[in-house]
Structure 1
């Protein structure tokens, strides 16, 4: 067995070490706790043992096993750190996650809470591509549909997808807002000037949300929020949409936290466990 530079204390004997070794579910739980401790910044056996409430010898056995299986690595100058096996499993887990499947329970809950139309979308070139939609209960059906594309800079979900971009990228997409594919641009409303759009986006970026104030479809308003992955990159967005009579600005403001909470839940499913820094 490959040993780390830390050695077991010589005070105890081998029989004591075996007797003290946790077994079964307890071993698994403690092993996972070691990973959590190292992920949280613990770098040596003393720190890990204090966090777990285990003896040095038990902590060493757990850590050494995790090093052998490549869940942890040990370097003399650094101590313990997360290992390459976790990176491999992380990428595999990410590839196996279906965004639509993961997001659906959150979308359904949001639809039940609001009674409005719910969208899930991602960026595709200069467009928004709708992945899922739950129609609202308030009469008017919107023209959006699953698989539909719209200019990213004219929709609430599109603006939410743009929140992590630079202002140069904002401007580029703003200028392309009428050239997106598969959409009847003749129906789009007159747009704000670039200066107005930029100020609006700055406000949205600070708050971590975005509005559609009839930018994309007459009398339709929406509140949107971005979805993040484990690297805190924006990978999708969700929105709550309804007609003007049901979406006064006061209600839109009250929905921000609700939509953000749903987006945060989906983000957590994708590995984003901390809120990303805002501009």
Structure 2
């Protein structure tokens, strides 16, 4: 039986530091970083020194922040996401108008998460506010189910890590057949969601979704909306 791949620990720790620095509005001390990622100061200092020498971390006296190399790396990704957003924003607006609920646009972010890159809100007191810029797990929502359903390699990876239950596996197969995924109060109580894959050049590049109160977006209504959206 194939084994799950193991991450390279030092690389994983380096990115953990970068993610921590990206969430801070001001430079962080060695002690603060060490405490936050639960590693000893000697190990953290070595990782910071390497990242600093490569330009991914800037040093300010005894504190650290992201280096400009990080911004250079992010530009192509930002441009790609903006191109995707511009291409699908008309569809997103239609989905929000038809359902009178918030419509989302998400792209995959690694092997375990996706990232919301846009959202269109409606003036509905029962709708969910925009999660733009937020990350979610692939196995906990309708949007995540779509990414998993149409990416065999991704599904295989999570299967090896025992992240996909038999029930979820069956559901993912159904998503492939129907072309859409539902989340019926799985991610959050009283919240139902619908998601569909978005294609460019024959490949799924993003996922669009709508969510709202379970009392308003019932299963019957979600399936009705799915049939409409798949024809757009």
* TM-score normalized by the length of structure 2: 0.59
SS in 1 for 2:212: strand
Q: Counterpart of 1:100?
A: 85
The yes-or-no answer on 1:155 pairing with 2:141 is yes
User: 1:259 aligns to what?
Assistant: 229
Determine the C-alpha separation between the residues in 2 that align with 1:239 and 1:256: 10
Q: In the alignment, which residue of structure 1 is the partner of 2:156? A: 168
What's the CA shift for 1:209?
A: 0.8
Is the CA contact (8 Å cut-off) linking 2:127 and 2:211 kept in structure 1? no
- Gap change, CA 1:242 and 1:100, over 3 Å in 2: same
Unaligned runs of 5+ in 1: 1-93, 176-192, 263-279
Does the 8 Å contact 1:156/1:222 carry over to 2? yes
SS in 2 for 1:242: strand
Asked whether the equivalents of residues 240 and 259 of structure 1 are also in contact (C-alpha less than 8 Å), the reply is: no
Matches within 5 A, 1:193-208: 194-208=165-179
Q: Distance in 2 between matches of 1:133 and 1:198?
A: 28
TM score, norm. by length of structure 1: 0.49
Matched residues in 2 for 1:238 and 1:174: separation? 27
Alpha-carbon distance, 1:132 to partner: 0.6
Where in structure 2 are there 5+ consecutive unaligned residues?
Answer: 1-78
RMSD over equivalenced CA pairs, Å: 2.4
Structure that is richer in strand per residue: 2
- How far residue 147 of structure 1 moved from its aligned partner, in angstroms, is 0.8
Residue aligned with 2:149, SS: coil
Q: Is 1:133–1:146's contact at 8 Å kept on the other side of the alignment? A: yes
**Equivalent in the alignment of 1:26:** none
